[in-house]
């Protein structure tokens, strides 16, 4: 039995304008509340369009990835940036671009981002990581959360819709590999995942110039409404106490490995942090009766 999202409860994400740093910290960052900040980065609107990136850097080699819903099913293919852009702008859903290394591949953009960074007013952590996303119309992400990373997402061009779920829904989403869910928010299979009916989604549509704050541990699934390019900045800013508080309401057997992974992120990459957590769970999971986080993916 498939049930469309319209049959499940959701609310619109809060939208604000002229949000200063103090307001952002007190009303969104500290309590972990998502928000869309309208037009706050207007100077970045249409700055890095697919057409301009192709014109300036089309001969650079980059890894495109295929668009499967479950991240571990995707393949990564070396391609020229111009070929990736041509494929995506043609309407094909064969490839999309999610690049953690785009500033290394295109170092000319590093100075521009660091000089005029849209994130400066909100994120001041010493560790920041930037991603570039380019998706075709109808392209989607998997349903996942980013552990202890704070996520500030800026829409450069096109439009994307995010469907978010509070961290307290962890058990309702049948997670695997700590941070992914097989539940498809737009077509949840309630026979396989009946507890998904308990989730109240938050819907957020971004247009050029909008920024959205996705707090640590918040689940999100993303749909490109048209050819869409956005940049997001990850920051690790939460204290140990805040990371623990962010998972309030989860069973202790879920909170322990999630908090362990988030804390490990401070010093190592996400992949390394996840691997260390797998090893830790393998060592102590039986004694603590931790769940099988390598469980079902579909």
Given a cut of 80, whether residue 242 has pLDDT beyond it is no
Q: Which of residues 56 and 175 earns the better pLDDT score? A: 56
Per-residue buried b or exposed e for 37-69, using 16+ beta carbons within 10 Å of the residue's own CB? bbebbeebbebbbbeebbeebeeeebbbbebeb
Return d(Cα 247, Cα 28) in angstroms, integer.
16
Q: 248: pLDDT confidence band, cut at 50, 70 and 90? A: low
- Domain ranges (residues) in the chain: 5-238, 241-288
Closest-CA residue to 207 (of 269, 154, 279): 154
pLDDT for position 72:
60
Task: Answer yes or no: are the C-beta atoms of 201 and 165 closer than 8 Å.
Answer: yes
Return d(Cα 86, Cα 95) in angstroms, integer.
10
Tell me the whole-structure pTM to 2 decimals.
Answer: 0.80
Instruction: Work out the percent of the chain whose per-residue pLDDT is above 70.
Output: 71
Q: Which of residues 239 and 28 earns the better pLDDT score? A: 28
pLDDT for position 196:
92
pLDDT digits (tens, 9 = 90+) for 195-220: 999 998 999 999 998 999 999 889 99
pLDDT digits (tens, 9 = 90+) for 88-142: 999 888 888 888 778 888 888 888 888 777 787 888 766 788 889 999 999 888 8
Return the CATH superfamily for domain 5-238: Cupin (2.60.120.650)
Task: Answer yes or no: are the C-beta atoms of 285 and 277 closer than 8 Å.
Answer: no
């Amino acid at each position: 039995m498939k049930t469309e999202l319209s049959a499940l409860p959701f609310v619109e994400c809060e939208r604000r304008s002229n949000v200063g740093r103090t307001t952002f910290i007190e009303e969104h960052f500290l309590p972990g509340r998502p928000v869309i900040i309208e037009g706050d980065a207007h100077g970045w609107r249409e700055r890095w369009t697919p057409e301009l990136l192709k014109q300036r850097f089309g001969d650079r080699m980059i890894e495109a990835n295929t668009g499967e819903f479950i991240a571990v099913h995707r393949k990564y293919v070396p391609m020229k940036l111009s070929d990736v852009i041509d494929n995506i702008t043609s309407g094909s859903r064969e490839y999309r671009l999610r690049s953690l290394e785009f500033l290394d591949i295109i170092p000319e953009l590093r100075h521009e981002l660091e000089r005029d960074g849209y994130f400066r007013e909100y994120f001041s952590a010493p560790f920041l990581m930037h991603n570039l996303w380019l998706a075709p119309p109808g392209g989607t992400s998997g349903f996942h959360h980013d552990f202890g990373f704070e996520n500030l997402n800026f829409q450069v061009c096109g439009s994307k819709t995010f469907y978010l779920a509070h961290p307290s829904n962890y058990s309702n989403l049948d997670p695997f590999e700590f941070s992914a869910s097989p539940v498809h928010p737009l077509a949840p299979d309630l026979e396989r995942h009946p507890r998904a009916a308990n989730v109240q989604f938050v819907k957020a549509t971004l247009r050029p110039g909008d920024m959205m704050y996705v707090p640590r541990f918040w689940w999100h699934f993303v749909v490109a409404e048209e050819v869409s390019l956005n940049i997001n900045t990850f920051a690790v800013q939460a204290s140990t106490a805040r990371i623990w508080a962010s998972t309030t309401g989860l069973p202790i057997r879920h909170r322990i490995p999630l908090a362990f992974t988030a804390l490990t992120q401070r010093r190592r990459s996400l992949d390394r942090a996840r691997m260390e957590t797998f090893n830790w769970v393998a060592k102590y999971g039986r004694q603590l009766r931790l769940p099988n986080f390598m469980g079902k993916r579909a």
